[in-house]
Structure 1
Amino acid sequence: MSLQKILAISGKPGLYELKVQTRTGFVAESLLDGKKITVGLRANVSLLSEIAVYTYNEEVRLAEVLKAIAEKENEGPAISHKEDDAKLKAYFREVLPEFDEDRVYTSDIKKVLNWYNLLQPKGLVTIEALTEKEPETEKQEEASE
């Protein structure tokens, strides 16, 4: 399982794994308690692989931010998302020094840290798992040159 199938569903706590697409939406399984839910097409759903964090220069993909947290914590758990705002911002500045403080709110930092701490025990935020693999065709082209 990769971040490609992990969902954040607005109004629902935690994260979900996409299981099956249906005619009217899809079925997802909670990473918190393993319960399956049906989600309609009108629900506000975000794939973690499509989320990015604003910096002063560009947007950094969430996978890169999670990888930076994993490197900082040696693939262990991060600080709690329930810490005070100043501590959360200082921690996030260590992980992503260039984050845009005007556009990245404390609530965003809390979500990222909460998501990291949900995914970490499941082995989804290891440095190896978050490192992008080159597509096979690129490797073959380089080898043939």
Structure 2
Amino acid sequence: MGLEKILSVAGKPGLYKLITQTRTGFVAESLLDGKRVTVSLRSSVSVLSEIAIYTLEEEVPLREVFQKIQTKENGGKTAVGHKDEKIKLEEYFFEVLPNYDEDRVYVSDIKKIIQWYNILVDNDITDFTSEEKDKEAASEEE
């Protein structure tokens, strides 16, 4: 499963897997406890595949940041926790993405990225390549 079906719902902790759409919104399952929730169309929802992180030159898709963390951690969980001190989180993120824009990427953003990455690793969602690359690879094989 790719990041296209993983959601962050404002006001709700953790991440959610999109299960199905309904007339008034959709049903999602928490990756933390497996409980299903109904989310209305009025809720603020972000799809992880659509999120990008500001750098000094461009915006880097979140999936690429996750790939860099995965490479740094050899596929395991992060060496720092999302509740660690501000300076420790900033140092860690600087190692992962050295050119991130410190004025536009806040510590709260870094905490979310680390927390989300660890949730995804706990749920064996570790394929951070894009769907487009998967489609290109499949068409090249034919």
- TM (norm. structure 1) is 0.90
- Following the alignment from structure 1 to structure 2, what is the Cα–Cα distance between the partners of residues 63 and 23? 30
**Counterpart in 2 of 1:130?**
128
**Counterpart in 2 of 1:72?**
72
Write out per-residue CA displacement over residues 66-98 of structure 1, whole angstroms, 9 at most, x where no aligned residue: 010000000111020011000000000000001
Aligned-partner residue type, residue 84 of structure 2: E
Offset, 1:122: 1.6
What is the identity percentage for the equivalent residue pairs of Structure 1 and Structure 2?
A: 57
- Following the alignment from structure 1 to structure 2, what is the Cα–Cα distance between the partners of residues 134 and 91? 30
Report the secondary structure of 2:65's partner residue: helix
- Following the alignment from structure 2 to structure 1, what is the Cα–Cα distance between the partners of residues 104 and 3? 24
Report the secondary structure of 2:37's partner residue: strand
- Following the alignment from structure 1 to structure 2, what is the Cα–Cα distance between the partners of residues 30 and 53? 24
Structure with larger Rg? 1
Unmatched segments (≥5 aa) in structure 2: none
Aligned-partner residue type, residue 53 of structure 1: I
- TM (norm. structure 2) is 0.92
Runs of 4+ in 1 over 2 A off after TM superposition: 131-140
- Following the alignment from structure 2 to structure 1, what is the Cα–Cα distance between the partners of residues 18 and 139? 29
Aligned-partner residue type, residue 131 of structure 1: T
- Following the alignment from structure 2 to structure 1, what is the Cα–Cα distance between the partners of residues 7 and 84? 24
Write out per-residue CA displacement over residues 98-137 of structure 1, whole angstroms, 9 at most, x where no aligned residue: 1000000000000000000100122212xxx113324248
Aligned-partner residue type, residue 130 of structure 1: F
Unmatched segments (≥5 aa) in structure 1: none
1 or 2 for the larger relative contact order (CA 8 Å, sep ≥6)?
2
**Counterpart in 1 of 2:4?**
4
**Counterpart in 2 of 1:118?**
119
Q: Once superposed, what is the RMSD of the aligned Cα atoms? A: 1.4
Report the secondary structure of 1:28's partner residue: strand
- Following the alignment from structure 1 to structure 2, what is the Cα–Cα distance between the partners of residues 31 and 138? 32
Offset, 1:31: 0.3
Write out per-residue CA displacement over residues 15-52 of structure 1, whole angstroms, 9 at most, x where no aligned residue: 00000000000000000000000000000000000000
